[in-house]
Amino acid sequence: MRTKYVAGNWKMNMDKAGAVALASELVEQLKGVDNKFMIAPPFVYLDAVAQVVKGSNIILGAQNIAATENGAHTGECSAAMLKDIGVETVILGHSERRYEFYETDKLINIKVRMALEHGLDVVLCIGELYSHKVAGVTEAVCEMQVKGGLDGLTKEQLAHVTIAYEPIWAIGTGKTPTPEEANSIHKSIRASISNLFGADVAENIKILYGGSMNAKNGKDLLAQSDIDGGLIGGASLKSETFVPICKYTV
Ligand code: PEP
């Protein structure tokens, strides 16, 4: 059985004291809890949060990486630099990067490979716009993003990849698909992965749901057969709203 994975994407929020305080609360409150956890603070607070989560059951994640190795790339932060300060995982392909920063499947794929080559795990975000949903092409969009993002990877590398299905119309809006609708998309994503990498890889890969998940709707979403956890934005910014999702048990 796939264990649940709950990840918090802090985006561009908080100050240093707040980041350290929240990480400390999470370390305390998630001690001994069985699921898998990750938090992704803003870059400038990663080092401070790394000191807090060291030795705990919380994985440190970054929200992006450079597509290139170290060198003359003003304003970028490389996979090697993140590894160096204790980052273990990176969120890639988030819709805010796809749509605000024009990241394409090709660029995302370069970053996915870069992360894996440097020993970082990846949470690859995919998901449809509302117009895609209305047009009935959600599955096709997700399949294209899975194919593009994972292009050229080996089966072995897939062991270090998690998918986050995030319908873009659900992010930060308070709207969600029904648990059954979300589960059906998760099943189709798993089928795409099975076609590309084989049934064994598809069976083992975790597919998280993201988009306005909270403690209330989280229970029903996480109870679905193919929803293996959550990527949480807004509700990950306070321990009171994040921890109850983390403590989900079957
Ligand atoms: C996200 O942006 O990954 C996300 C899921 O945000 P929220 O939970 O705020 O909808």
Q: Residue 194's pLDDT is what?
A: 98
How far away, in angstroms, is 213 Cα from ligand 1 center? 7
Query: Which DSSP letter does residue 170 get?
Result: G
Q: Give the percent of the chain with pLDDT over 70.
A: 100
Tell me how far apart the alpha carbons of residues 39 and 58 are, in angstroms, rounded to a whole number: 7
Q: Is 2 exposed, middle or buried (0-12, 13-18, 19+ CB in 10 A)?
A: middle
Give the closest residue to 138 by CA, choosing from 185, 186, 192. 185
What is the position in ligand 1's atom list of the atom closest to the CA of 212?
A: 10
**Beta strands of the chain (E only): which ranges?**
5-9, 36-40, 58-62, 89-92, 121-126, 161-165, 207-210, 229-232
Average pLDDT estimate for 35-58: 98
Name the closest-CA residue to atom 6, ligand 1.
Answer: 233
Name the closest-CA residue to atom 1, ligand 1.
Answer: 233
The residue to mutate among 231, 238, 242, having the most atoms of ligand 1 within 8 angstroms of its beta carbon, is 231
pLDDT band, residue 250 (cuts 50/70/90): confident
Give bridge partners of residue 205 from the DSSP assignment.
none
Are the C-beta atoms of residues 209 and 227 closer than 8 Å to each other?
A: yes
How far away, in angstroms, is 204 Cα from ligand 1 center? 24
Q: Is 218 exposed, middle or buried (0-12, 13-18, 19+ CB in 10 A)?
A: buried
At a CB cut-off of 8 Å and minimum separation 6, what does 189 contact? 126, 142, 143, 146, 163, 165, 207
Tell me how far apart the alpha carbons of residues 231 and 210 are, in angstroms, rounded to a whole number: 5
Average pLDDT estimate for 196-204: 98
pLDDT band, residue 1 (cuts 50/70/90): confident
pLDDT band, residue 169 (cuts 50/70/90): very high
Average pLDDT estimate for 83-110: 98
Catalytic residue positions, numbered: 94, 166
Maximum CA extent, the chain: 49
Chain centroid to CA 57: 17
Domain layout of the chain by residue ranges: 5-248
Give the closest residue to 146 by CA, choosing from 115, 101, 192. 192
How far away, in angstroms, is 87 Cα from ligand 1 center? 21
Pocket of ligand 1 (CB under 6 A): 9, 166, 171-172, 210-213, 231-235
| Mean pLDDT score of the chain | 98
Average pLDDT estimate for 58-78: 98
How far away, in angstroms, is 235 Cα from ligand 1 center? 8
Name the closest-CA residue to atom 7, ligand 1.
Answer: 233
pLDDT band, residue 123 (cuts 50/70/90): very high
At a CB cut-off of 8 Å and minimum separation 6, what does 172 contact? 212, 233, 234
pLDDT band, residue 213 (cuts 50/70/90): very high
CATH classification for the domain delimited by 5-248, as one of 3.20.20.70, 3.30.1360.120, 1.10.40.30, 3.30.530.20: 3.20.20.70
SS3 162: strand
Residue 67 has pLDDT above 90, yes or no: yes
Return the number of other C-beta atoms located less than 10 Å from residue 17's C-beta: 10
Residue 71 has pLDDT above 90, yes or no: yes
